Structure 1
């Protein structure tokens, strides 16, 4: 596998023409590139940030074997690779002349990529987060269900969505306040966020879903303000959006968890989610423009 087997493009349509069928062939493992490219397609190239995204495709003997993308300021995202393919990607990336601040992907893939990156660039790489991808099996509503009801957020809830999205991003250690308004507008446009609200109509938790692409919907984000946690709101609203995703015709309902949070991992398994694969995010700490 050679570095020049990778094809680089800044054009989303070109990328989807070359890699779209490959991404749809494994919708669970490719849930992030599927949903991110759908967001770029429907909301525009600056949806995730002011700097233009870029994309890559690995082709061998006329077939697509892997793909990556980056939407600055976020890390590179890559589909599963063999160790040989990961080394060829490291060589390819090292020759791009673009910033590569880190990578997110299936764990063995990014572990191999990080080792190759260190060897080729001398950069120190560190694991920032371990994640687990889950797929919904048999949905089970957690008991007891807290008082209240679900409600899909609409335009009147925009300020609440913006505020809670900013709080959620801060809670997970990411900077997202600058795109909270765009996120809220996008979710409102397709009914993509549901509140759990108390009997008096006060929202106490939210769960979002991505648009359905290739038969899959991913639950994200799930957020309860700190002072309202431990009352069953997150479980109830997650179960409700999972039910609605199935009712909408999703063949696969997915979500990611942070493996450092045993509470959320246990909760989602009680609802009926089952592990698919482990993922990891690496930080390439010393990286500048190569």
Structure 2
């Protein structure tokens, strides 16, 4: 097997895009990040793109972002993942973490020498058709710049709650919320003119929109706001001809039940791993 690295996202996608699209939902992280880099909405300076070949066939694929390594779902073969882990050991010993499908991530961390500090299990869900959910008072609306301060505070609370590793700075979170509002990708459930829940389209692949930043403040929980907001956003996406996907924390059964009630089906299990410094 041969490992090849690319410095330019265009070169990487030219070789790899068709392979990634064979498991488009499972590879939404890599495809989405590559799209953001190609569109200059994500940094590219510290990014690296990697394939492992058996002859002309791509056997495994990964990218390095400033935060962590992202592994693709390509084959079930462990050996090419071990080769990628060896490459990261030799060239990126300061790697902060890795995220990927369960078996790929487990193989990577078993070969990477840094101690594991944090492991978060994630479920990846997909949706092609919504079910009826119990309606609640309020309306689904696109967020505006007038909501910026409130939704930025919610986003900070969201990231604090999910325990993202490495953590995002306040400046980064505010930039993200402003960008989502500007691009028309952030939505709210509004009751009596006030937002009571939010959800966003955080990433796009060729045919799938990924929902994230689903948050309801503590005092407004248990009233169906998040379920209705995500259902309406999902229908908004489906009406445009895309499928939907989202990640959930496997340790939060309540949120998993909400998405299942809307019609989301689990398709993959992921690990999000942080390494010790």
TM-score, normalization by structure 2: 0.91
| Cα pair 2:3 2:51 within 8 Å, conserved | yes
1:148 is matched with: 138
In the other structure, the counterpart of 1:109 is: 104
Match for residue 15 of structure 2? 18
Contact 2:52 2:60 in 1 (8 A): yes
Runs ≥4 in structure 1, deviation > 3 angstroms? none
Q: Is the 8 A contact 1:194 1:241 kept in 2?
A: yes
Question: Residues 75 and 100 of structure 1 are in contact (CA less than 8 Å); yes or no, is this contact kept in structure 2?
Answer: yes
Q: Report whether the alignment pairs 1:167 with 2:157.
A: yes
From the superposition, tell whether residues 97 and 265 of structure 1 become closer, same or farther in structure 2 (CA, over 3 Å): closer
How many residues in Structure 1 have an aligned counterpart in Structure 2?
272
Tell me if structure 2 keeps the 8 A contact 1:192–1:211.
no
Write out per-residue CA displacement over residues 44-101 of structure 1, whole angstroms, 9 at most, x where no aligned residue. Answer: 4438xxx6222212222123232211221x2211013521122111211111145212
- For the pair 1:60 / 2:54, whether they are aligned, the reply is yes
Asked if residue 180 in structure 1 is aligned to residue 177 in structure 2, the reply is no
Q: SS where residue 39 of structure 1 aligns?
A: helix
Change (3 A) 1:161 1:40: farther
- The answer as to 2:216 corresponding to 1:224 is yes
CA–CA separation in structure 1 for the residues paired with 2:29 and 2:92: 25
Post-superposition offset of 1:109: 1.0
Alpha-carbon spacing, 1:97–1:168, altered in 2? closer, same or farther (3 Å):
closer
Shift of the 45–230 alpha-carbon distance from structure 1 to 2, 3 Å rule, reads: closer
RMSD: 1.9
List gaps (5 residues or longer) in structure 2: none
Indicate which of 251, 259, 266 corresponds to 1:260: 251
How far did residue 133 of structure 1 move?
Answer: 0.5
Query: Secondary structure, in 3 states, of the residue corresponding to 1:210?
Result: strand
Asked if 2 retains the 8 angstrom alpha-carbon contact of 1:148 and 1:196, the reply is yes
Could you give the per-residue CA deviations for residues 87-124 of structure 1, whole angstroms, max 9, x where no partner exists? 1112111111452122111001111111122xxx3x32
Take 1:63 and 1:27, find their aligned partners in 2: how far apart are those partners? 18
User: What's the counterpart of residue 209 of structure 1?
Assistant: 201
CA distance in 2, matches of 1:212, 1:36: 9
**Cα separation, partners in 2 of 1:10 and 1:164, compared to 1, 3 Å:** farther
- 1:126, CA displacement in angstroms? 5.0
CA apart distance, 1:239: 0.4
Match of 1:89 among 81, 84, 101: 84
Equivalent pair of 2:60/2:81 in contact (CA under 8 Å): no
Aligned to 1:193: 186
Deviation at 1:12, TM superposition (A): 2.0
For the structure 1 residues 259 and 208, does the alpha-carbon distance in structure 2 shift closer, same or farther, using more than 3 Å as the test? same
Map Cα deviations across residues 2-56 of structure 1 (whole Å, 9 max, x no partner): xxx2222332222222222222232111111111122222234438xxx622221
Assess if the C-alpha contact under 8 Å between 1:152 and 1:193 holds in 2: yes
Of residues 257, 265, 273, the one that matches 1:274 is 265
Q: CA deviation at 1:178?
A: 2.7
- Where do 5+ consecutive residues of structure 1 fail to align? none
TM-score, length of structure 1 as denominator length: 0.87
Question: Could you say what secondary structure the match of 2:151 adopts?
Answer: helix
Aligned to 2:69: 76
